[in-house]
Amino acid sequence: MAYQIVYQPSPRSGLDTFFVRVRRHGFMLYTSIVVISTLYVCFIMKPPGPKSQPKSKGSKKTDDSSSESSFENIQLEDVAHPVDRWSKRELYQYLGDHHIYPGVDEPLSHPWTDLNCRQFLVNSSSIPHIEPSNPVAVLRGDAKVSGVVHFEQEKESDPTKISWEITGNDPNALRGFHIHQFGDNTNGCTSAGPHFNPFQKTHGAPEDDVRHVGDLGNITTDAQGVAKGTKQDLLVKLLGENSILGRSVVVHSGTDDLGKGGNEESKKTGNAGTRPACGVIGLAT
């Protein structure tokens, strides 16, 4: 007679089943707690923002230099908090961008306000603070006129030093020299637009109280048609919301009458003529 042995496992006891379920559901519960805690820390809990001094009732709005000084006192543990109370100025300055753009004092908008987690600003502390370099404009055009214009400014309250060397002009002449609104040379120098005039003034001489910011007067050429010189200007800014960065320098074919020509065009362009050469003001290496 043959025998067949069949193995049949005993049914799991109730206690074993209980512990299996506890382990399974316990892992799911642990995972849920971790996820919920992370979401709470990142999107709900709002630690205080950067420290600020209380303002007195009679206090006036501080200027750019004082706001920059107070910003330097903010510690890393402060800037590592949510950015929802920051202005664009504070973020730009912390990241090493000292130029002030239009609307810079507006609060940060979406998606910046969603960055309530600290990781972004903690990581950004390793970003090097790059000092602004001295801008340069390389002048070219359809004519033989060409040259280079350099700009230097240490801080916004300082005058800007402007240096130029421009060749190809008529000898022993005065030629109009201006900063224009746009850094657009797609249609030649014509697309650079009008003189840079953020305060909506009439055209004048560089030393006049009423003038365009872009009114640099005339350059003087020598017997070879070369103009070389240096000047300082308090209205021309590399820093601040009226920065000339990204705009154009234009050399004209005629003499700027400095707004004293006695006609309407004189108060706009100084009757300085056509635009043989221009260049966009950009950051130098």
Dump pLDDT digits (tens) for 153-164: 998 999 999 999
Q: Which one of the listed residues 211, 212, 233, 256 is annotated catalytic?
A: 212
How much is the pLDDT for 195?
98
C-alpha 71/C-alpha 90 separation (Å) is 7
In order of 38, 72, 250, the CA distances from 50 in angstroms are 23, 12, 44
Q: Is 203 a residue of the active site? A: yes
C-alpha 282/C-alpha 95 separation (Å) is 20
Q: Is 275 a residue of the active site? A: yes
C-alpha 214/C-alpha 194 separation (Å) is 9
Instruction: Count how many Cα atoms sit within 13 Å of the Cα of residue 21 in the half-sphere of its side chain.
Output: 7
Q: Which one of the listed residues 233, 252, 256, 257 is annotated catalytic?
A: 252
166: pLDDT strictly greater than 90:
yes
How much is the pLDDT for 232?
97
Going by pLDDT thresholds of 50, 70 and 90, the confidence category of residue 79 is very low
How much is the pLDDT for 187?
92
28: left (phi over 0), alpha (psi -120 to 50) or beta: alpha
Instruction: Take residue 147 and report the two structure tokens written for it.
Output: 């040259």
How much is the pLDDT for 33?
77
48: pLDDT strictly greater than 60:
no
Going by pLDDT thresholds of 50, 70 and 90, the confidence category of residue 285 is confident
What ranges in 117-220 are assigned the alpha helix state H?
Answer: 119-124
CB burial readout 179-214, b (16+ within 10 A) else e: bbbebbbeeebeebeebbbeeebebbbbebeebbbb
Going by pLDDT thresholds of 50, 70 and 90, the confidence category of residue 143 is confident
Give residue for tokens 């004209």.
Answer: 252
How much is the pLDDT for 29?
72
- 103 Cβ contact partners less than 8 Å away, ≥ 6 residues apart: 88
138: pLDDT strictly greater than 80:
yes
How much is the pLDDT for 63?
45
What are the DSSP calls for 195-252, one per residue?
B--TT-PPP--TT-SS--TTEEEEEEB-TTS-EEEEEEESS-BSSSTTB-TT-EEEE-
Going by pLDDT thresholds of 50, 70 and 90, the confidence category of residue 60 is very low
115: pLDDT strictly greater than 70:
no
Q: Is 63 a residue of the active site? A: no
197: pLDDT strictly greater than 80:
yes
From the centroid of its chain, how far is CA 277?
Answer: 27
14: pLDDT strictly greater than 70:
no
Going by pLDDT thresholds of 50, 70 and 90, the confidence category of residue 8 is low
Q: Which one of the listed residues 81, 89, 99, 178 is annotated catalytic?
A: 178
Please say whether the dihedral angle defined by the alpha carbons of residues 204, 205, 209 and 212, taken in this order, is positive or negative.
positive
Q: Which one of the listed residues 89, 99, 195, 247 is annotated catalytic?
A: 195
Domains of the chain: 23-46+65-131 (no CATH), 136-282 (2.60.40.200)
How much is the pLDDT for 69?
42
Share of the chain above pLDDT 90, in %: 49
C-alpha 66/C-alpha 176 separation (Å) is 37
Q: Is 81 a residue of the active site? A: no
- 169 Cβ contact partners less than 8 Å away, ≥ 6 residues apart: 145, 175, 219, 221, 225, 226, 227, 251
91: pLDDT strictly greater than 70:
no
214: pLDDT strictly greater than 80:
yes
Q: Is 110 a residue of the active site? A: no
Q: Which one of the listed residues 81, 89, 99, 203 is annotated catalytic?
A: 203
Q: Is 212 a residue of the active site? A: yes
Strand, helix or coil for residue 86: coil
Q: Is 257 a residue of the active site? A: no
Query: Of 141, 161, 133, whose CA–CA distance to 149 is shortest?
Result: 161
Higher confidence at residue 128 or residue 227?
227
C-alpha 144/C-alpha 168 separation (Å) is 5
Instruction: Compute φ and ψ for 215, nearest 5 degrees.
Output: -80, 100
Share of the chain above pLDDT 70, in %: 55
Q: Which one of the listed residues 99, 180, 211, 247 is annotated catalytic?
A: 180
Q: Is 195 a residue of the active site? A: yes
